[in-house]
Structure 1
Amino acid sequence: MMDPTTRRKRTHNEEVAALFLKHSSRIRGIILSMQPDFARADDVLQETFLTVSAKANEFEFGTNFMSWVYQIARYKVLEDRRRSGKTTEQLSLASIESLLAAESNLADDQHEERVEALKDCLTKLSPRSRQAIELRYAREHPASEIATVLGWTVDSVYVALSRARTLLAKCIDEDLRSKGVTI
């Protein structure tokens, strides 16, 4: 017979695992936004699950589960990048975090759909627009510094950022409408 402490610990760990499984497609989407290689993203998802399982007793119910898992996934992506030594053209983790922050209050299913749409839409921006977005939202550079880095005028930076945000918003809305998701 199992003692009450062991039983509570096992129940807690099972509940954490169930939460992970419930949100696994959303977690995978977040990982894919940081690691666009599907095979490597799936490996990172598995490593994230193993770490979440091993640290389940550290999670406190009533706190933000997705935030806790996101931090674990983020470190797993960084580990994967270091191990592979590969760099791919993608937005930095901070860029993704900044862009996803605006979506944090959406329902889980709508959030997942928006993350997928955002990933697709980011690839449709020109490389210079992606760079401007990253400099602004990931690295938090002011327009004057972005202008210096890109060799643009400050006004050009404001226009480029505005257009990029507008294009992303339109693209995401169109993508969601095509999938029948209510916006």
Structure 2
Amino acid sequence: MEEAPDIEETFVQLVVNHQTALHAFVLALLPGHPEADDVVQEVNTSLWKKRGEFELGTNFKAWMFSVAKFKVMALWRDQKRRKVLSVPEETLNLLIDEAAEVCHGADDPRHAALRQCIQQLRPDDRSLILRCYFDGFSLQSAAEELGRKAVNLKGSLHRIRMALRVCVKRKVGLGRAMS
């Protein structure tokens, strides 16, 4: 008769099997960020320290993403304190939710709608959104590169986000009405 695998061995196997998802999740939240790999290592260390809190048979990936979320939020808080990051808390929480859905493999119609809406933006607006949210530029560095004031850029980003929100709601609503 074969013995049941050791609990720690099973835990290590879960961590190893989910490294790609963890890395994708952290990179989705910190694209191009020089500390992304460090955050992944911190998450792995925390997972090991907290292994007694994880209940085998429950959703390991969700638990791992929760630990990662708090590590990323701690980094963001530190960057805000040092005035390196100036993205509103609401936006950061949306990024976390979206990254979790994408990395969980959720097939959400909002993702397709958002991609379509981004493509429909004016080229300057699309470039600004991509630069600030996908290429990892800080608000200040994007403003310097574009020769604009950071406060004006912040207002533009808010306007674009609101337009994207309306566009996504409209597209998702149309999709539901047609099905």
Given the two structures, how large is their TM-score scaled by the length of structure 2?
0.51
Distance 2:170 2:25 in 1: 22
Distance 1:81 1:96 in 2: 12
Identity %: 23
CA deviation map 1:121-153 (0-9, x unaligned): 89x94547999xxxxxxxxxxxxxxxxx9679x
The alignment status of 1:43 with 2:34, answered yes or no, reads no
CA deviation map 1:69-117 (0-9, x unaligned): 111101111222233432166983422344346557649xx9xxx9xxx
Distance 1:32 1:166 in 2: 29
The alignment status of 1:33 with 2:28, answered yes or no, reads yes
1:45 shift after superposition: 0.2
1:38 shift after superposition: 4.1
Which residue number in structure 2 is paired with residue 17 of structure 1? 12
Residues 93 and 17 (structure 1 numbering): CA distance in 2 closer, same or farther, change over 3 Å?
Answer: farther
Distance 1:65 1:58 in 2: 11
Which residue number in structure 2 is paired with residue 78 of structure 1? 73
Distance 2:12 2:6 in 1: 10
Asked if the contact 1:34/1:92 (under 8 Å) is kept, the reply is: no
Asked if the contact 2:69/2:96 (under 8 Å) is kept, the reply is: no
Distance 2:43 2:24 in 1: 13
Asked if the contact 2:47/2:64 (under 8 Å) is kept, the reply is: yes
Q: Which amino acid aligns with 1:49?
A: N
Q: Which amino acid aligns with 1:67?
A: A
Which residue number in structure 1 is paired with residue 48 of structure 2? 53
Which residue number in structure 2 is paired with residue 68 of structure 1? 63
Residues 12 and 92 (structure 1 numbering): CA distance in 2 closer, same or farther, change over 3 Å?
Answer: farther
Residues 63 and 126 (structure 1 numbering): CA distance in 2 closer, same or farther, change over 3 Å?
Answer: same
Which residue number in structure 1 is paired with residue 154 of structure 2? none
1:29 shift after superposition: 1.0
Q: CA RMSD in A?
A: 4.4
Q: Any unmatched runs of 5+ in structure 1?
A: 1-7, 132-148, 168-183
Q: Any unmatched runs of 5+ in structure 2?
A: 120-124, 133-156, 172-179
Residues 60 and 20 (structure 1 numbering): CA distance in 2 closer, same or farther, change over 3 Å?
Answer: same
Distance 2:170 2:99 in 1: 16
CA deviation map 1:3-44 (0-9, x unaligned): xxxxx9x93223222211111111111111212234311000
The alignment status of 1:87 with 2:85, answered yes or no, reads yes
Q: Which amino acid aligns with 1:71?
A: S
Asked if the contact 2:29/2:96 (under 8 Å) is kept, the reply is: no
Distance 1:74 1:16 in 2: 20
